[in-house]
Amino acid sequence: MSVGALSESHPDRYKWIALTNTTLGIFMATINSSIILISLPAIFKGIGINPLSPGNVGYLLWLLQGYLLVTAVLVISLGRLGDIMGRVRIFNVGFAVFSVASIALALDPFHGGAGALWLVLIRLVQGVGGAMLFANSSAILVDAFPPAQRGLAMGINQVAAIGGSFVGLILGGLLSIGDWRLIFWVSVPFGLLGTFWSYHSLRDNGVRASARIDWWGNATFAVGLTSLLGAIVYGIQPYGGSAMGWTSPRVLVLFGAGALLLGVFFAIELRVDSPMFNLRLFRIRAFATGSIAGLLTAIARGGLQFMLIIWLQGVWLPLHGYAYSATPLWAGIYLLPLTLGFLVAGPLSGYLSDRHGARILSTVGLVIFGASFVGLLVLPTDFSYWAFAVLIAANGLGGGMFSAPNTTAIMNAVPADQRGSAAGIQAAFMNSGMVLSIGVFFSLMIVGLTNTLPSAMFRGLSRHGVAPALAHGIANLPAVGSLFSSFLGYNPLASLLGSQASAHVTSAQWHALTGKAFFPGLIASPFHHGLLIVFGLAIVMSVLGAIFSALRGQRFVYQEHEIAERIDEISLGAGAVPGEVALEGDVVH
């Protein structure tokens, strides 16, 4: 008997089949969003280019952000397409696209810039597959599970989503030791299994929307958001004599075009009969407050992941004797408490939200989430690991308490024929928040480094015998180079100093300058200055998110609301008082 026939003959089993299949898809997609973070040094070494040279920084940034950008741009369109054409159909195609792209990445036939460009372009294609998975998985789960069990299902699914991003860090560190192509091959068997399994086991049992595709809305949103997020990518890069490119003509044009097109997009969505981005959903309080809280949390969480990697790979691990080549793997291992906190809290909070609603759990979760940033702020740069582990575990715990109840409350609050669109909006907010956080937090960190690093760099180099002119030149290089060096686990001083310095310093001084301790010790204080700015903003985002979460109202399920309204109408015919049965304050008419 086939899996599909089994699910037909045993309807209650289908929900668990749907949960397992969608969880596999989301886990695979999120692993691939983070596995590359740790593996970039091995990838660039494998294709034979230096990621820190000025001409190659663009490859570095697009490999980091291209996947997230494509998923952010396409998830709403693909979620709405799932409402119209069938969510399972789009989900199945997503598995196939993702698998083919993974094979193409592993088989990169080029070297140098051409090899990097191949990886960037195929990662964009892989992002299309990821968007198809992200856009429809939540809707498929809501279709399969009754309201009383959706929180548990979402909790498990959200654990896969967030947990996968941290599992990817460890996998990337392990696989990059062997061969950089393994980083992409690892997804292939899971992708092929998921493609076959989803095709034979999942079925479309949701309500289809009878509507035409909103072509103008799709086009203006895609081009507008791409322009806006692309401006963020280019804004991080140096421009002329500036440390960043926020004032470059390209960035200004992209920002202007993005803002204009998104303005046109919202005007279109208010006028068409079947909008891609259903703004009317924001009249539902649980949807609107939950969505805003989710966006704010995504911004805070995205910056956290990058800052912790820089902190570990660029500062803490080298200071504690770890070779630079080993820091990617150990950074992933030392971040395990963050994943474990989320793994514990996600399913449990989802289960509890089915019984008690999302407001208290998600709001308390964001308070714990924000408090963990306060704790990280007061840690010294060269911290005690156990204090660090407790704080990041608390961060994961708070994030898990928020995520599953919040997603469940949002999906429960929308009509059945809008679930794909709602899931797409949530995925777009999450991925846009990640891209935005990279731009904002990297920029804030660069500002902090620019204000403090040059003087510290000049003093440190001069004390170790480097000629004043050379020390001044190195100290005044764009801070983004030092930031990316830390992020990639590089010690750049040997290449920056070159043979000119090595001929004028003693062997002991040269050994100290290029050893494990000098560069991390040099940037530790400037990095902490930037960290104060970055985590300070994350605290603000967490507090605002908690406020919106607290304003979501009582537990609200749209289908139950519809039933209550019908009962109310029947009761009115029998002389009952209006409003005795209907839920109050959840839909703004």
pLDDT bin (cut points 50, 70, 90) of residue 75 is: confident
- Collapse the DSSP code of 242 into the 3-class scheme (helix H, G, I; strand E, B; otherwise coil) and give the result: strand
What number does CATH give the domain 3-205+276-448+526-550? 1.20.1250.20
Q: Is the pTM of this model over 0.85?
A: no
- Collapse the DSSP code of 272 into the 3-class scheme (helix H, G, I; strand E, B; otherwise coil) and give the result: coil
293-345, pLDDT tens digit by residue?
A: 999 998 888 778 778 888 888 889 988 988 877 787 788 789 889 888 888 88
Q: Look over the chain and give the mean of its residue pLDDT values, rounded to a whole number.
A: 80
Conformation bin of residue 112: beta by default, left when phi > 0, alpha when psi is -120 to 50: left
As a 3-state breakdown, the chain gives helix, strand, coil percent values, each rounded to 5, of: 80, 0, 20
- The answer on pLDDT for 26 being more than 90 is no
Average pLDDT, integer, range 140-169: 78
pLDDT at 579: 39
Least Cα distance to 431 among 133, 39, 19 occurs for: 133
The percent of residues above 90 in pLDDT, for the chain, comes to 16
Euclidean distance between CA atoms 208 and 225, whole angstroms: 27
363-382, pLDDT tens digit by residue?
A: 999 999 999 999 999 999 89
Average pLDDT, integer, range 145-158: 78
Euclidean distance between CA atoms 296 and 307, whole angstroms: 17
Euclidean distance between CA atoms 459 and 574, whole angstroms: 86
- Collapse the DSSP code of 11 into the 3-class scheme (helix H, G, I; strand E, B; otherwise coil) and give the result: helix
Query: What burial letters (b/e) apply to 21-59, b meaning 16+ CB within 10 Å?
Result: bbbbbbbbbbbbbbbbbbbbbbbbebbebebbeeebbeb
- The answer on pLDDT for 586 being more than 70 is no
- The answer on pLDDT for 503 being more than 60 is no
519-571, pLDDT tens digit by residue?
A: 888 888 888 887 888 888 899 999 999 999 999 877 777 665 555 555 555 55
Bridge partner list, 587? 284
| DSSP string for residues in 489-547 | T--THHHHHHHHHHTTS-HHHHHHHTSTTHHHHHHHHHHHHHHHHHHHHHHHHHHHHHH
Q: Are 414 and 287 in contact (CB under 8 A)?
A: yes
